[in-house]
């Protein structure tokens, strides 16, 4: 691991972060890959699409081909309700083809809310004096991890504000601490990271501790809006430093990267196009490897943050479902994450149109899991969540909807990452691995953590999904299920 | 007739000579391809980063099968489908060669193909 001098003050630290040479090599004629005028023009040009044209595009998605920008623009311009129903059906079908009827579940772990940035929409912003600042100690991180393991979680996304107190060395130590934590049969097997953009040297530090996916959301792809909501003089004001954050991650050897946009800052159709262009540019530079996941959080209220109430670009529930379906059709191979920002009824409505991952038992206050408080405390949260239900409740509801909750982390622990993973996912074959491993990890959860009610629903679902497996796989999966019942853990294919 | 020890030794020596000419990811890919051709065993190589085994290169399949994960050095590992198709003595010799090769050349961080 790299060792660094602790910066003498925040300003000096900030000056050490951005390296223009790690951006400029990706620019084409001095421009980045988001051409605002081109996107606006495509969205104008493909208004009022012919139904047959829409159906042809749907057929391309069903063949698991990634869409081109003009095709996505066409889908975004559909007005006809019946055509939207066809899009929703197709989006669900694409998801089933690629990943099967499983939902990967994780929990967020917020480690620090100190931040040097001042983003207008964010509760953690520097000038928000109502936010109570806290950085977890390593011992507190351990207690948070123990609480999460005790619920049955196997996978976390760890979240950090951008600040020298939560620099890359702190991030690395907290991740190592989580990986070392064990409670009974339980442990966290995969830690994904949501942190600020870094240079390649710092990203190599993250690679060394074995992170899962590195996640950086662009927030908004619209240059002018980005400039308005990220005040000048802050690190986050640098649009291109953020835009190429995941290119640098790939260069550093982190081959699972995740993109996202914060919906509500600008026109949702533009943001979907931005996500697609981001996908295409990653594919172009890194041998076809696009984003491992795409996230699409909606802006939610935060303490002392009037911007959220004032924005004119709030996304309605109707449009939210539409944007999720269009992302699914546009990038068939990618994982898609819906979080507890959304209330339970929206998650029920939107998961079937293409989502592959969700969080549960979510607490986003710093130290919230081990403090065991149940009410949301906006003074230590980045925003207000919409669905605080327990993991057991979410697992049971998903099972009742016919989805196996997967705690699988097999791919990343057996070298099926990056190009290898992407190759299988693009051919629609990853579900051959996902479904058996989902069943096996679901079985572990039911035995070790589930309530009797959830276990009853879950066991029935396992038998149903087992029956749908390829015949050749059944003997091995049955053997593994029996071994899990006898006490073995972490069996995987 | 089954492959004899001498034929195996010739095969392994040829691979060693070929691998010596190549940079790390290419060299490992060559080994994976030759093993697939000779035994029908699919292998791929990964960089070991804590719990993460990060793909480098190889001939991984698209069908779910039991896997064998074999650490080669503290930094690199091999994942195999149907490793049992390789006779034990030959498998040991292949692993010994890979361990020696990686100890000499693979001490730094590897970049995956792509």
User: Is A394 found in the same domain as A248?
Assistant: yes
pLDDT for the residue B104:
86
Q: Specify the pLDDT at position A164.
A: 95
- Say yes or no for a CB contact (<8 Å) between B60 and A255: no
Can you give the residue range of the structural domain that contains A456? 427-485
Residue B79 lies in a domain: yes
Task: Name the closest residue on chain A to residue B58, using Cα atoms.
Answer: A420
Instruction: Report the pLDDT value the prediction gives residue B108, as an integer from 0 to 100.
Output: 56
Count Cα neighbours of A297 within 13 Å in the Cβ-side half-sphere. 23
- Which pLDDT belongs to residue B64? 86
**First-to-final CA distance of chain A:** 32
Q: How many domains does chain A have?
A: 2
User: Is residue A436 one of the residues assigned to a domain?
Assistant: yes
Within this chain, do residues A185 and A252 fall inside the same structural domain, yes or no? yes
In this structure, the answer to whether residues A225 and A298 fall within a common structural domain is yes
The answer to whether residue B4 scores a pLDDT higher than 60 is no
A213 and B CB contact within 8 Å: no
Let me know if residue A330 belongs to a domain: yes
Residue A46 is assigned to a structural domain of this protein: no
Q: What is the mean pLDDT of the segment spanning A128-146?
A: 95
B111/A contact by beta carbon, under 8 A: yes
| B114 belongs to a structural domain | no
The answer to whether residue A216 scores a pLDDT higher than 60 is yes
Count Cβ atoms within 10 A of the Cβ of residue A262 and give its class: 0-12 exposed, 13-18 middle, 19 or more buried.
Answer: buried
Both A340 and A475 in one domain: the answer is no
Residue A6 has pLDDT above 50, yes or no: no
Q: Which of A277, A402, A397 shows the shortest CA–CA distance to A343? A: A397
* Residue in chain B lying closest to A213 (CA): B52
Same domain, residue pair A433 and A420: no
Same domain (yes/no): A390, A419: yes
Domain count, chain B: 1
pLDDT tens digits for range B26-61:
999 999 999 999 999 999 999 999 999 999 999 998
- CATH number for position B33: 3.30.450.40
* Residues A388 and A471 occupy one common structural domain: no
Note the pTM of the prediction, 2 decimals: 0.94
Q: How many CB pairs under 8 A join A and B?
A: 94
Average confidence score pLDDT of chain A = 95
pLDDT digits (tens, 9 = 90+) for A146-174: 999 999 999 999 999 999 999 999 999 99
Return mean pLDDT, chain B. Answer: 90
Q: What is the pLDDT of residue A1?
A: 33
One DSSP character per residue, A140-202 reads: HHHHHHHHHHHHT--EEEEEE-SSGGG-HHHHHHHHHHHHH-EETTEE--EEEEE-----HHH
pLDDT at A258 over 60: yes
Tens digit of each residue's pLDDT (9 = 90 or more) over A283-294: 999 999 999 999
Domain assignment of residue B111, yes or no: no
pLDDT band at A493 (very low <50, low <70, confident <90, very high): confident
Task: Provide the pLDDT for residue B112.
Answer: 64
Beta-carbon separation of B62 and A429 below 8 A: yes
Query: Does A128 share its domain with A267?
Result: yes
Question: What is the residue range of B92's domain?
Answer: 2-105
* Contact status of A1 with chain B (Cβ, < 8 Å): no
- The confidence score (pLDDT) of residue A8 equals 63
pLDDT at A480: 96
Dihedral pair phi/psi, residue A233, rounded to 5°? 90, -10
Asked if pLDDT for residue A5 goes beyond 60, the answer is no
A420 vs B60: CB contact, 8 Å cut-off? yes
Tell me: do A352 and A317 sit in the same domain. yes
ipTM: 0.89
Question: Which is higher by pLDDT, A121 or B105?
Answer: A121
Tokens of A455: 């276990």
Whether residues A137 and A277 fall in one domain: yes
Q: Is the pLDDT of residue B3 over 60?
A: no
């Amino acid at each position: 691991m790299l060792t660094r001098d602790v910066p003498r003050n925040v300003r000096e630290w900030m000056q050490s972060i951005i390296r223009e040479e790690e951006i400029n090599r990706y620019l084409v004629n001095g421009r980045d890959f988001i051409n605002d005028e081109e996107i606006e023009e495509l969205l104008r040009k493909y208004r009022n699409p012919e139904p047959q044209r829409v159906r042809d595009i749907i057929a391309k998605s069903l063949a698991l081909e990634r869409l081109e920008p003009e095709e996505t623009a066409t889908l975004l311009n559909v007005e006809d309700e019946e055509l939207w129903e066809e899009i929703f059906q197709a989006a669900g079908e694409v998801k089933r083809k690629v990943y099967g009827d499983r939902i990967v579940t994780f929990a967020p772990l917020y480690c620090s809310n100190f931040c040097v940035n001042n983003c207008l929409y964010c509760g953690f912003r520097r000038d928000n004096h109502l936010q109570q600042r806290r950085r977890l100690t390593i011992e507190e991180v351990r207690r948070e991890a123990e609480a999460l393991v005790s619920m049955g979680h196997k996978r976390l996304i760890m979240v950090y504000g951008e600040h020298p107190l939560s620099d890359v060395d702190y991030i690395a130590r907290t991740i190592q601490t989580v990986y070392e934590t064990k409670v009974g049969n339980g442990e966290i097997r995969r830690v994904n990271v949501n942190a600020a953009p870094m240079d390649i040297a710092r990203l190599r530090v993250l690679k060394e501790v074995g992170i899962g996916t590195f996640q950086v959301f662009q927030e908004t792809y619209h240059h002018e809006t980005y400039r308005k909501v990220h005040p000048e003089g802050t690190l986050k004001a640098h649009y291109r430093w953020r835009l190429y954050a995941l290119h640098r991650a790939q260069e550093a050897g982190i081959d699972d990267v995740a993109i996202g946009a914060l919906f509500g800052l600008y026109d949702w159709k533009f943001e979907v196009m931005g996500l697609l262009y981001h996908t295409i540019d990653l594919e172009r530079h890194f041998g076809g490897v696009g984003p491992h996941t795409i996230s699409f959080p909606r802006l939610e209220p935060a303490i002392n943050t009037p911007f959220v109430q004032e924005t004119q670009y709030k996304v309605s529930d109707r449009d939210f479902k539409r944007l999720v379906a269009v992302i699914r059709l546009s990038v068939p191979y990618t994982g898609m994450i819906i979080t507890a920002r959304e209330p339970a009824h929206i998650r029920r409505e939107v998961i079937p149109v293409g989502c592959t991952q969700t969080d549960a038992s979510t607490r986003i206050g710093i130290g919230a899991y081990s403090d065991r408080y149940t009410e949301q405390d906006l003074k230590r949260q980045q925003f207000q969540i919409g669905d605080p239900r327990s993991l057991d409740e979410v697992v049971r509801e998903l099972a009742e909807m016919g989805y196996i909750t997967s705690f699988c982390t097999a791919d990343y622990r057996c070298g099926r990452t990056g190009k290898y993973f992407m190759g299988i996912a693009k051919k629609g074959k990853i579900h051959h691995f996902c479904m058996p491993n989902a069943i096996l990890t679901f079985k572990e959860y039911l035995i070790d953590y589930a309530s009797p009610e959830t276990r009853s629903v879950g066991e029935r679902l396992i038998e149903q999904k087992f029956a749908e497996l390829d015949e050749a796989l059944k003997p091995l999966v049955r053997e593994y299920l029996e071994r899990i019942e006898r006490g073995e853990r972490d069996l995987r294919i | 007739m089954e492959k004899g020890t001498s034929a195996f030794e010739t095969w392994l020596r040829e691979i060693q000579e070929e691998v010596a000419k190549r940079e790390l990811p290419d060299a490992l890919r060559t080994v994976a391809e030759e093993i697939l051709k000779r035994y029908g065993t699919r292998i791929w190589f990964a960089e070991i980063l804590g719990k993460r085994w990060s793909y480098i290169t190889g001939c991984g399949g698209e069908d779910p099968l039991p896997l064998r994960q074999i650490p080669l050095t503290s930094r690199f590992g091999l994942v195999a489908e149907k490793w049992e198709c390789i006779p034990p003595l030959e498998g040991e010799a292949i692993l010994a060669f890979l361990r020696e090769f990686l100890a000499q050349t693979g001490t730094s961080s590897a970049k995956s193909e792509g």
